[in-house]
């Protein structure tokens, strides 16, 4: 093995001519650029995926339970859930659809009722308040408080202290007929989770006011559950279902946002495939380089065969040549990828739309598994690229090689 490696390195470093040097350089550069581009892109995709996941969980919770419950019922279920080993805390919530009207504008939205104190146990929603409060110190005669997402408030042109009207899909009966239920609220705060879908479509009020608005009689539409470890979400959901009983839907954060996560995974997979083609193209250059090397070293191959070298040894020499070029390209690519990821994470090179991402820098997160997959795949492609030149060189007859070399 040492002999084959020695010959391969010697052939690589002692080649004559500018063309041979350029083809070798292009092969190394192609692999390094492909590896660097692939790792950098995957790291950015991982950063976005992690960032979106943190924003979603920060505004919701690890597991959501849907189904109407009376006050005494959800209190008992919360006590039972918090006894489960995987569960850290649970809190009631209300989700309902409605329409908000302000200054002649009407927008459909989701109204979410919550208990501000209990909500702190299951997510970081309170940290997303940029101004105001869920429970302002207002007069008793003031309208109920309503916290809007910053995007929703901007679209309406509303601000803290403005009165808005919520319209419920439920109808109320009057002497003049059936009319949709309407109630005045006063904007008490603005909230920015950093996730556009939440900030543009959800309004928040206290549990009591939401229950009254939707006619739930102090009940809720479900519970939110926080786990000790988010990776146990599926396992915890299986434990929670028999506790809450029949008639309730238990969904993990991944199931609630399955379309989003599926799109991110598909995009990452497509980028992986497309960028691997760069390494594939570079491997063709390696194959061509090895074929050229076989032509240059035809006489040497003949002499080694005449001295007793087996075809297997000749194949190993050329395979080592391919692996040396691949190793140089992969190492340089890893170093370049680390440098690029550091630059992207440190300096604001790419500006993101602040009204959507609320980020000043592109998120970057390098993962060991991605690096292992890229390095392993690159070696495999380069190995396959070296097979044909290696087999071709090993089949040369010693007499012909010495005569025509």
Do residues 49 and 91 share a domain?
no
C-alpha distance across the termini of the chain, in Å: 25
In a domain, 399, yes or no: yes
Residues 272, 219 share a domain: no
Number of structural domains, the chain? Answer: 2
If 0-12 CB within 10 Å is exposed, 13-18 middle and 19+ buried, where does residue 103 land?
exposed
Assess if residue 240 is contained within a domain: no
Least confident of 119-123, 157-161, 323-327, 334-338: 323-327
- Is the separation of the CB atoms in 187 and 162 below 8 Å? yes
* Residue 255: inside a domain: no
- Residues recorded for the chain: 405
Same domain, 91 and 223: yes
Mean of the pLDDT values across residues 136-143? 86
Question: Could you tell me which residues are beta bridge partners of residue 98?
Answer: 109
Q: Which two tokens stand for residue 383?
A: 């190995």
pLDDT at 402: 57
Q: Which residues contact 395 (CB under 8 A, 6 or more apart)?
A: 311
The answer to the question of residue 246 being in a domain is no
DSSP state of 143: P
Range(s) of the domain holding residue 204: 87-227
Residue 343 falls within a domain, yes or no?
yes
Q: Are residues 220 and 141 in the same domain?
A: yes
Cβ-Cβ contacts under 8 Å for 190 (sequence gap 6 or more): 129, 130, 131, 132, 147, 148, 149, 150, 153, 159, 160
Residue 34 belongs to some domain of the structure: yes
* Residues 206 and 321 grouped into a single domain: no
332 and 215 part of one domain: no
Regarding whether 209 and 97 lie in a shared domain, the answer is yes
pLDDT tens per residue across span 188-208: 999 988 878 888 899 999 998
Give the tens place of pLDDT for each residue, 6-57.
Answer: 666 666 666 555 666 677 777 788 888 888 888 988 888 888 888 877 777 8
Pick the range with the lowest mean pLDDT from 60-69, 192-201, 242-251, 392-401. 392-401
pTM value is 0.70
Residues 275 and 218 in one domain: no
**With 80 as the cut, is the pLDDT of residue 70 above it?**
yes
Average pLDDT in the chain: 82
> Is the domain of 198 the same as that of 119?
yes
Comparing CA positions, the residue from 180, 153, 179 lying closest to residue 169 is: 180
- Residue 325 within a domain: yes
The residue out of 227, 251, 286 marking a domain boundary is 227
Q: Is the pLDDT of residue 358 over 80?
A: no
Q: Are residues 369 and 283 in the same domain?
A: yes
Flag the least confident range among 60-64, 83-87, 186-190.
60-64
Of 251, 325, 269, nearest in space to 23 by CA:
325
Please indicate, yes or no, if residue 193 is contained in any of the structural domains: yes
- Using the 3D structure, point to which of 205, 227, 249 is the last residue of a domain: 227
Cα→Cα distances 269→22, 263, 341, Å? 33, 10, 19
Instruction: Categorize the per-residue pLDDT at 3 as very low, low, confident or very high, splitting at 50, 70 and 90.
Output: low
Bigger pLDDT: 270 or 226?
226
- pLDDT confidence bin for 259, thresholds 50/70/90: confident
Same-domain pairing of 284 and 366: yes
pLDDT at 349 over 60: yes
Residues 265 and 210 in one domain: no
């Amino acid at each position: 093995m040492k002999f084959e490696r020695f010959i391969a390195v010697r052939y690589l470093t002692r080649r004559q001519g500018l063309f041979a040097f350029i083809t070798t350089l292009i092969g190394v550069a192609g692999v390094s650029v492909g590896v660097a581009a692939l790792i950098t892109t995957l790291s950015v995709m991982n950063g976005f995926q992690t960032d979106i996941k943190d924003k979603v969980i920060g505004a919701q919770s690890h597991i959501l339970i849907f189904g109407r419950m009376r006050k005494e019922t959800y209190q008992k279920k919360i006590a039972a859930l918090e006894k489960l080993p995987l569960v850290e805390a649970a809190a009631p919530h209300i989700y309902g659809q409605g329409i908000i009207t302000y200054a002649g504008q009407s927008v459909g939205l989701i109204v979410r009722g919550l208990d501000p104190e209990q909500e702190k146990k299951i997510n970081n929603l309170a940290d997303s308040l940029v101004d105001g409060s869920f429970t302002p110190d207002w007069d008793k005669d003031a309208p109920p408080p309503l916290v809007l997402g910053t995007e929703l408030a901007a679209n309406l042109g509303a601000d803290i202290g403005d009165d808005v009207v919520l319209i419920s899909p439920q109808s109320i009966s009057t002497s003049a007929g059936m009319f949709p239920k309407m109630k005045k609220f006063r904007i008490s705060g603005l909230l920015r989770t950093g996730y556009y879908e939440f900030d543009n479509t959800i309004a928040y009020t206290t549990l009591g006011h939401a229950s009254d608005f939707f006619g739930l009689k102090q009940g809720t539409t479900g519970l939110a559950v926080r786990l000790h470890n988010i990776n146990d979400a599926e396992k915890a959901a299986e434990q929670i279902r028999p506790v809450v009983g029949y008639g309730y839907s238990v969904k993990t954060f991944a199931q609630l946002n399955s379309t989003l996560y599926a799109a991110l995974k598909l995009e990452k997979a497509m980028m992986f495939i497309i960028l691997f083609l760069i390494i594939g193209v570079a491997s063709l250059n390696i194959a061509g380089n090895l074929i050229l090397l076989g032509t240059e070293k035809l006489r040497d191959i003949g002499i080694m065969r005449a001295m007793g070298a087996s075809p297997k040894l000749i194949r190993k020499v050329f395979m080592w040549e391919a692996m040396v070029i691949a190793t140089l390209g992969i190492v340089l690519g890893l170093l370049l990828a680390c440098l690029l990821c550091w630059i992207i994470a440190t300096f604001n090179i790419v500006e993101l739309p602040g009204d959507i991402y609320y980020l000043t820098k592109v998120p970057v997160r390098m993962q060991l598994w991605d690096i292992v997959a890229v390095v392993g795949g690159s070696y495999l492609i380069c190995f396959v690229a070296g097979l044909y030149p290696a087999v071709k060189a090993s089949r040369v007859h010693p007499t012909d090689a010495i005569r025509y070399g």
